[in-house]
Chains A and B, each alone.
Chain A
Amino acid sequence: MAKLHVSTTINGEPMEFLCEPNDTMLDALRGPLGLTGSKEGCSSGDCGACSITLNERLVCSCLMLAAEAEGQDLGTIEGMAQGEKLHPLQQKFLEMAALQCGICTSGMLVASDALLRKNPRPSEEEVRFWLAGNLCRCTGYDKIVRAVLETAAEMREAAQ
């Protein structure tokens, strides 16, 4: 069986790749596309380390067939910073030590970014429930939640 050829847009750039029909988008990102920022923690949609956006919607790339990317718009961790300019969330995560080993961080940032774009004024509870699909074993989530809340506050201020 020949491989499938997929044309898609990732972080605003047109990209093409070859994949097997049963490859997930995570397989495609980490394999032929060389975008290893999205991580594989479980491949069953339970840990969120593979989080990306699909047409601006937060999804697990391990739960999407690579073939489904045809003609769609994907956003990955690699697209969060603009060159050397970090996204405010990335900067805040660094300042507030909202990461230790870093394996969940890509997914956490993509998920947090999706939250703030949808809800610029989340409460602590809203942040916690939004991020429930992103497992972290190192931090106990405390500094992550604080970093998201502080970034939200700063972004709201900057917008005024």
Chain B
Amino acid sequence: MNIVTNNKWIGQRTIRPDGVDKVTGRAAFAADTVMPGMIWGKVLRSPYPHARIRSIDTSKAEALAGVKAVVTSRDVVDFPVDKSVMLGIQDMRWMCRNVMAREKALFPGHPVAAVAATSEAIAAKACELIEVDYEVLPWAIEIDDALKPDAPILHEFNMFEGKPSNIAGKLEIKKGDVAQGFKEADIVIERSFTTRPVHQGYIEPHACLVSVAADNKTTIWSSSQGQFMVRAMTAHLTGIPQSDIRAIPAEIGGGFGGKTIVYLEPLATLLAKKSGRPVKMVMTREEVMRATGPTSGSKSTVKIGAKKDGTIVAAQGTFYLQAGALPGSPIRGAVGCSFSPYDIPNVRSVGYDVLSNRSKVAAYRAPGAPIGAFAVECVLDELAEALKMDPLELRLKNAAKQGTKAAHGPVYPRIGYIETLEAAKAHPHYTAPLGNGEGKPRGRGMASGFWFNAGGESSAQVNITEDGNVVVTTGHPDIGGSRAAIANICAELLGIDYRRVSVLIGDTASVGFSNLTGGSRVLFASAMVVTQSTEKVITTLRERAAKIWEIDPDAVKWENGAAHPASPNAGQFEPLTLAELAAKAPQMGGPIGAGVQLNTEGAEGGFGTHVCDVEVDVELGIVRVIRYTAVQDVGRAIHPSYVEGQMQGGVAQGIGWALNEEYIYNKDGKVDNPGFLDYRMPVCSDLPMLDAVMVEVPNPKHPQGVKGVGEVPLVPVMAAVANAVHNALGKRFYSLPMSPPKVTEVLEAAE
């Protein structure tokens, strides 16, 4: 495919099509929608971390004036535990139990019943009237507690090595012979790390509005990262056929992976069906923090061996990640990505999925990879120190490149990792003096990271309006500005003004199947199908012009928004513009438009190299990031501002994860900080400007050279910060977050 260069729109910082609505407060998020006759749904949640549900009596709730419907797990389709039913990466056995507890309540906040009533207050009151008979059981939250020999077992049917266990899965990758490799190493460093669970932290709580007619025709408005996922999960869990469900993606107020599954939609659907009224459900912030999937807490051990000259000869990682109440932690990301930036002959990477009594984890921006990279990149930093090598030089010496067999299996095509290292090395930040902190030590650290990225199914339609403009319908919710980039691409291909292209996100009834927004795939995949659709439209336009001119379509070219004779031999004709051809469309063969549905392939992973400066108030243990530069191999920045935006957003999340974000539990196993006051995400004054450097090494398998960019930015951050803190204080941190009491503890332990 040709990589388009010399661009008019691609690479420009155009104004996003959905922007005006968002700056005026008009954009319709799920909680903004209303329907006539709408009533409110509320969820009753388990107060216990672990309890058998002996019985549920909903009679008093049903009798309360204003209550229109009550549902329990009896109403949710059962997926028996002995038969796996996969929907993408989710197993419906776990989804049905996540959406509502069946045999057991598995974490505080686990839904046990739901009510719909004419007001939120009545629905809440009704929930209080539901009587649940719990048999309270012992619980385990931390990995160590869940793995003890006498630990309470969450699922008796879950077997590991022949007996019931809280280990729900194991994943291992191997390359070469690590035992031999370590023997050949001149220096070996092995360290263990822990991280706490952290939440994606989207500002918009989950919300949906569902209407079910008496014949099952269902309309769902929801905040989600995938309307097709919403349709499919809701169909599976309610028994309503997919063809009867229309899932409409509302504007989404942040997802980061956390909205790639459903929580409320199936419950609202069941309530709407039972009550015959549209049901709106909106989570409170507390519900979001207690009952939606954060990412795993972890325990990792990483061992890396190198020769005196810095060549890494062997690497080994063992990663325990919390799944929460039901199986499915992102061990794939930890196991598969952590060593991937490097050319290492001997690698063994193992991950364990650990069940425990907390909410089931959901994806969070490069799931698993930031956890693994924290460990590996910190060990590499220690290795560099021991070898008296610059940490960036150590990376360069071992960097993966085209032809390297990656730790996780594939042979790399043209990749841009080395380019990120070189750009970081050449960047003024890397050599700038740290400056004087006036009594507060300063330090600089760097780290790299990798994420797989994904392709997957995507559909789009490109239709020409009768007045000669363009409507593009794509299939993926826009969580990062993808509509702007799509408009750039379509305008570029058609050679018309960007403002003439309107980009919309279709619902499940109006666009073909499109896989979720996640995996840094939206632009990659939708650009491919939009490109192919636009190319088909261009072919049609050339054919129409050819007919008018009575020449062969091959003799017509499309340029600058018009059909032209391809060469002087084709004849002398005035160009026919898009508007002119559109006006003639009815007589010339009908509507001009095309749609493409594909399982897109050719997505390539992305690499990032980050440099971080910190300043530490040693007496109080407070770490502040004072300068940050993120370099990333972005393939092609179709809309540079939104690529930078992804990088800056990921960095900010990583700084929070590194310094202050963590789930805190009380002695009853409940989340003690289920709100933004004590779940401490970075605020505006916590951060400096975040420099984003985009290195463009185009993906040869994509028409515009696009690579996924959204997830890589989170991967290197915690290690970059930890390495900077080490540089400032001379102390290593093996545990996140590096909050003030922890920093103070480490400093005092050393004295």
A residues with a Cβ closer than 8 A to B are 20, 30, 35-44, 46-47, 49, 76-78, 80-81, 86, 90, 93-97, 99-106, 109, 124-125, 127-129, 131-146
Contact = CB atoms under 8 A, between A and B. Distances in A.
A131 B677 contact: no
A137 B676 contact: no
A46 B675 contact: yes
Interface in B587-617: none
A151 to B, nearest CB: 12
Contacts of A109: 23
Given A46-B675, A47-B203, A139 B648 contact: yes
A106 B255 CA distance: 18
Interface residues of B, number: 56
Given A86-B20, A94-B20, A135-B676, A128 B685 contact: yes
B432 interface: no
B689 interface: yes
B742 interface: no
Interface in B187-243: 200-205
A101 B251 contact: yes
Nearest to A76: B25
A137 B24 contact: no
B667 interface: no
Given A93-B23, A97-B13, A136-B203, 16 more contacts: A36-B31, A39-B31, A42-B676, A44-B676, A46-B675, A47-B285, A94-B15, A100-B480, A101-B252, A127-B684, A128-B685, A138-B254, A139-B649, A140-B690, A144-B684, A145-B684
Contacts of B200: 137
A141 B652 contact: yes
B253 interface: yes
Contacts of A138: 254, 480, 645, 649
B542 interface: no
Interface SS of chain B: loop
B645 A37 contact: no
B25 A95 contact: no
Contacts of A137: 200-203, 254, 256, 649, 652-653, 681
A1 to B, nearest CB: 11
B641 A143 contact: yes
A46 B22 contact: no
Contact of A103 (B204, B642, B648, B690): B204
Contacts of B121: 20
B25 A77 contact: yes
Contacts of A20: 121
Given A94-B15, A103-B253, A142-B648, A40 B687 contact: no
A25 B716 CA distance: 42
Contacts of B25: 35-38, 76-78, 105-106
Contact of A101 (B20, B254, B644): B254
19 contacts: A36-B28, A40-B31, A47-B676, A76-B25, A86-B23, A90-B24, A100-B645, A103-B254, A109-B23, A127-B684, A128-B684, A128-B685, A135-B676, A135-B681, A137-B202, A138-B649, A139-B645, A140-B649, A144-B684
A40 B13 CA distance: 30
A96 B542 CA distance: 37
Nearest to B13: A97
Contacts of A140: 648-649, 651-652, 682, 687, 690
Interface of B: 13, 15-16, 18-29, 31-32, 121, 200-205, 251-256, 282, 284-285, 479-481, 641-642, 644-645, 648-649, 651-653, 675-677, 681-685, 687, 689-690
Contacts of B18: 102
Nearest to B641: A97
A104 B683 CA distance: 12
Nearest to B477: A101
Contact of B253 (A39, A46, A124, A127): A39
A127 B480 CA distance: 24
A22 B496 CA distance: 54
B685 to A, nearest CB: 4
Contacts of A106: 25
Nearest to B479: A101
Which of B25, B284, B641, B653 lies at the interface centre, i.e. has the most chain A CB atoms within 10 A of its CB? B25
A81 B25 CA distance: 10
A142 B256 CA distance: 19
Contacts of B651: 140
Contacts of B13: 95, 97
Nearest to B678: A46
A38, A39, A77, A86 interface centre (most CB from chain B within 10 Å): A39
B23 A143 contact: no
A111 to B, nearest CB: 10
B251 A37 contact: no
B684 A78 contact: no
Q: Which 3 A-B pairs have the closest CB atoms?
A: A37-B25, A103-B253, A102-B22
Given A49-B203, A102-B251, A135-B676, A97 B684 contact: no
B93 to A, nearest CB: 31
Contacts of B251: 101-102
Given A49-B203, A131-B684, A41 B23 contact: no
A146 B648 CA distance: 13
A86 B202 CA distance: 27
A42 B16 contact: no
Contacts of B683: 132-133, 135
A116 B78 CA distance: 56
A145 B641 CA distance: 14
Contacts of B677: 44, 46
A154 B319 CA distance: 52
Contacts of A135: 203, 676, 681, 683
A46 B649 contact: no
Contact of A145 (B27, B676, B689): B689
Given A139-B648, A140-B687, A77 B24 contact: yes
A41 B687 contact: no
A100 B479 contact: yes
A79 to B, nearest CB: 10
A102 B253 CA distance: 6
A137 B28 CA distance: 19
Contacts of B252: 101
Contact of B204 (A37, A41, A90): A41
A41 B252 CA distance: 13
A101 B676 contact: no
Contacts of B649: 100, 137-140
